Amino acid sequence: MSGANAAPGDRGRTDPAAEYEPVIGLEIHVQLKTRTKMFCGCEVSFGDPPNTHTCPTCLGLPGALPVVNQRAVQFGVMIGLAFDCDIAERSLFHRKNYFYPDNPKAYQISQYDIPLCRAGRLGDVRIHRVHLEEDAAKLNHLGQSGRIHGAERSWVDFNRCGTPLVEIVTEPDIRSAEQAREWLTGLRETLRQIGVSDVDMSQGSLRCDANVSVRPVGSHELGTKTELKNMNSFRFLQQGIQAEIERQIGLLRAGQQVVQETLHFDPRSGSLTPLRSKEEAHDYRYFPEPDLVPLLVTPELRAAAREELPAELPLDRAVRFEHELGLSPRRARELAFRAELADYFERALAAGREADGSLEPVELANWIPQLVERIGSDADPNHSRVSPRSLAALALMVRAREVSRDAAREVLARLVHEGGDPREIVQREGLGAIAAEEDGLGELVERAIAADPDAAAQVREGNMRAIGPLVGYVMRESRGRADGREVTRLIRERLGAA
């Protein structure tokens, strides 16, 4: 199927117009999972009653001063190390000045020309910079608009104010809406696994804006970009970028120009509306924050950050699963992006290979989603009754055709409930594969042929599609224990259609 036939919003098909190439950069804000706020001792919270975690500093009261949260700095350094960034031994905080009720000092303490981290990479996208800053308060508006303009009344909840944030800015290395979504998933899992954030878009601990432009394929110049805001889920991110790419290409094709502006994505309508230019026309008047001294990253802090990182990051692990173990890219990410699954898988693989060197990683890996489905998608298999050794044993039995795939699923169900040794369960429950004629398979096949003479006649005449009901009969009668391949062989043999 070509892209031209894709329905609007169809995932991944970026462009009906192959002559244009999208160029996308992301700007990501991540709330850090520190115990306390960026510049004061108030607890970082979510969902607590409004204004219950505040103090003179995060309320911006006269005379209050900021003090840098060293844990947040360490998290920032960990992120920098995970992205292989250059980490500044000395960086600066600046004041970013603007008036808004969610910004009680009327400036945000952020970093400007000397950020904590620079020039890194995550997967196929280069990281421009990573810097530390503080979150704003949360505004709630009463009124139809749901926004401050036209609100009957507005409240400010300062619980969020001062929550530590890192801002991550990528280079414009992304070339499709789908890639943006995939890459952001990798970023989320990286940050989750290094333990610095909950990275939950629905709760706002991960927020992403996108800079989008398009250019003729083959061109190396950047087109005029627009900035997209408010894409508060992975799906909306992809939809928003896709819609913007299509809008820009439409403009260019019609001989019009893209105007540099900030657009607000409305997930309900899928539309992009420009933010009022007044809200945009900021001169932030950055200058070095005189209430803070330069931020120093000592070798000790750097070492502590390094120490706290996991031995292997999820993207690296996915690459290893794919290249060394032969897993599909999708399966590799599925496992690597949940550390507990990947750990379980690797433990099972080690146990299985110890028992029998012929265990195929791909086959074993295919059992993990089934296990997850049975224990519940949020559960950790390492804490289930199914030991990695048992799962590997089951996979090996399937491979050795000692148990059919269907019967193995039943064994797995029993393992999940009672634990134990799969071989024992197979024996106890009589779930072993019926793989030979003399084991009664021949008799079952004959009963199937007798039960459905029409199907048998069609197969005899060479219509192999008709074999399904016959195989189904055998499988049903054998409670799934029959070896499907052998059943097919025997039916064909009996009906002279081999």
Q: Which is nearer to other proteins, 14 or 159 (CB)?
A: 159
Three-state DSSP state, 80: helix
Please report, for residues 265, 282, 321, the alpha-carbon distance to residue 164 in angstroms, rounded to integers and kept in the order given. 25, 23, 34
Could you say which DSSP state residue 29 is in? E
Nearest approach in angstroms of CB 287 to other proteins is: 5
- Burial label, 331 (beta-carbon count in 10 A; 0-12, 13-18, 19+): buried
Nearest approach, Cβ of residue 105 and other proteins (Å): 5
What is the smallest separation between the CB atom of 110 and other proteins, expressed in angstroms?
Answer: 13
Contacts of 252 (CB under 8 A, 6+ apart): 20, 214, 258
Sign of CA dihedral 311, 315, 316, 320: positive
Residue 234 three-state SS: helix
Are 205 and 30 in contact, with CB atoms under 8 Å apart?
yes
Closer of 137 and 391 to other proteins (Cβ): 137
- Given a contact cutoff of 8 angstroms between Cβ atoms, the answer to whether 95 and 107 are in contact is yes
Nearest to other proteins of 20, 112 (CB atom): 112
Least distance in Å: CB of 251 to other proteins?
29
Give the shortest CB-228-to-other proteins separation in angstroms: 24
C-alpha 123/C-alpha 268 separation (Å) is: 32
Which lies closer to other proteins via its Cβ, residue 148 or residue 275?
A: 148
Alpha-carbon distances of 493 from 391, 430, 445, rounded to whole Å: 35, 27, 10
Of residues 145 and 257, the one with the C-beta less far from other proteins: 145
**For other proteins, the closer CB: 137 or 393:** 137
Question: What is the distance between the alpha carbons of residues 186 and 168, in angstroms, rounded to a whole number?
Answer: 14
Edge-to-edge strands, sheet with 287-288: 107-110, 94-97, 287-288
- Nearest-angstrom CA–CA distance, 225 and 214: 8
Comparing CB distances to other proteins, the nearer of 66 and 80 is: 66
Residue 156 or 470 having the CB closest to other proteins: 156
**Contact criterion met (CB below 8 Å) for 134 and 94:** no
Q: Closest CB to other proteins among 93 and 236?
A: 93
The alpha carbon of residue 215 and the mean position of all alpha carbons in its chain are separated, in whole angstroms, by 28
- Tokens matching residue 98: 């603007």
> Taking the C-alpha atoms of 11, 15, 18 and 20 in order, what is their torsion angle to the nearest 10 degrees?
-130
Least distance in angstroms from the C-beta of 159 to other proteins = 15
- Where do contacts with other proteins occur on this chain (CB under 8 A)? 56, 59-68, 95, 97, 99, 101, 104-107, 148-149, 156, 283, 285-287, 290-293
Nearer to other proteins, 141 or 320 (CB): 141
What are 143's two structure tokens? 């009124």
Kindly state the smallest distance separating residue 166's Cβ from other proteins, in Å.
20
| Closer to other proteins by Cβ: residue 141 or 347 | 141
Which tokens belong to 345?
A: 């898988």
Nearest approach, Cβ of residue 61 and other proteins (Å): 6
Residue the block writes with tokens 């909950």? 198
Closest distance between other proteins and the C-beta of residue 142, in Å? 14
Taking the complex as a whole, how short is the minimal distance between the CB of residue 57 and other proteins, in angstroms? 8
CB 103, min distance to other proteins, A: 9
CB 272 within 8 A of CB 285: no
The angle subtended at Cα 310 by Cα 305 and Cα 316, nearest 5°, is 120
Cα–Cα distance for residue pair 31/44, rounded to 1 Å: 10
